[in-house]
């Protein structure tokens, strides 16, 4: 459940649901086309994950994924924060960092989390455990989706991306300290 909480509060669905608005706020001219490109990147990264999961291992892939997501979210936050001072640079950095975030998520946090949960829950508890984990996923997804716009209005989109970067950094540490090989430490 913690993996799904970190995944959702790391910002993936804020980007997925509101990418057009985020890209428009950054001054990207064709935000709708940018959002479509993000969808294509997501598909490509998820396909690439199929070949990387067993080669790199779940822990390493999650560490790389969350690390990339943290750096990307930080760059998005900085670019949006400095959008007024450097609008052209902000647009390019926001678009590039958003693509990098989607690629990092798609190759690690997205597919690996869904794969790990049933692998780590004992067989006798698997149905209930996986159901509970996915329920927490959808609850967190709902919370992020409902809270993003009001929070953006209150604190600014840049501040939210600094928060997402912090959560992704925390997720990197969580995975490093709790996932031993491809199993969680007791």
The DSSP code sequence of 28-92 is: -TTHHHHHHHHHHHHHHHHHHHHHHHHHH-HHHHHHHHHHHHHHHHHHHHHHHHTTTT-HHHHHH
Residue 40 tokens read as: 């294509």
Contact 98, 15 (CB under 8 A): yes
Give the burial class of 105: count Cβ atoms within 10 A of its Cβ; 0-12 exposed, 13-18 middle, 19 or more buried. Answer: buried
With residue 184 as reference, give the H or E element that holds it. Answer: strand 183-184
Q: Tell me: the pLDDT tens digits for 47-73?
A: 999 889 888 889 999 999 999 999 999
Domain 2-184 matching CATH 3.40.50.150: the answer reads: no
Q: Tell me: the pLDDT tens digits for 2-25?
A: 889 999 999 999 998 888 888 787
pLDDT exceeds cutoff 50 at 39: yes
Share of the chain above pLDDT 90, in %: 60
If one compares 185 and 32, the residue with the highest pLDDT of the two is 32
Cα–Cα distance, 54 to 34 (Å, whole number) = 31
pLDDT for residue 171: 97
Torsion, Cα of 134, 177, 78, 145 (10° steps): 10
With residue 185 as reference, give the H or E element that holds it. Answer: none
Looking at every residue in the chain, the average pLDDT score rounds to 89
If one compares 172 and 30, the residue with the highest pLDDT of the two is 172
pLDDT confidence bin for 186, thresholds 50/70/90: very low
pLDDT exceeds cutoff 80 at 27: no
Task: For residue 125, give the DSSP letter.
Answer: G
pLDDT exceeds cutoff 70 at 184: no
pLDDT for residue 61: 94
Across 84-93, 99-108, 176-185, the highest mean pLDDT is recorded for 99-108
Q: Tell me: the pLDDT tens digits for 97-149?
A: 999 999 999 999 999 998 888 888 888 998 998 899 889 999 999 999 999 99
Residue 20 CA: distances (Å) to CA of 32, 73, 148? 6, 16, 14
């Amino acid at each position: 459940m913690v993996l799904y909480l970190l995944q959702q509060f790391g910002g993936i669905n804020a980007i997925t649901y509101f990418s057009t608005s985020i890209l428009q706020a950054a001054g990207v001219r064709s935000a709708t086309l940018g959002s479509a490109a993000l969808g294509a990147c997501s598909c490509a990264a998820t396909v690439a994950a199929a070949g990387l999961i067993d080669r790199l291992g779940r822990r390493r892939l999650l560490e790389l994924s969350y690390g990339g997501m943290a750096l990307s979210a930080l760059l998005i936050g900085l670019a949006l924060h400095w959008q007024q001072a450097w609008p052209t640079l902000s647009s390019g950095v926001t678009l590039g960092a958003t693509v990098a975030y989607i690629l990092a998520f798609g190759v690690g946090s997205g597919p690996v989390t869904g794969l790990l949960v049933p692998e780590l829950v004992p067989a006798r508890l698997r149905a209930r455990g996986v159901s509970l984990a996915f329920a927490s996923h959808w609850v967190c997804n709902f919370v992020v989706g409902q809270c993003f716009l009001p929070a953006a209005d209150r604190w600014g989109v840049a501040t939210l991306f600094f928060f997402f970067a912090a959560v992704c950094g925390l997720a990197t540490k969580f995975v490093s300290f709790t996932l031993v090989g491809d199993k969680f430490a007791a």
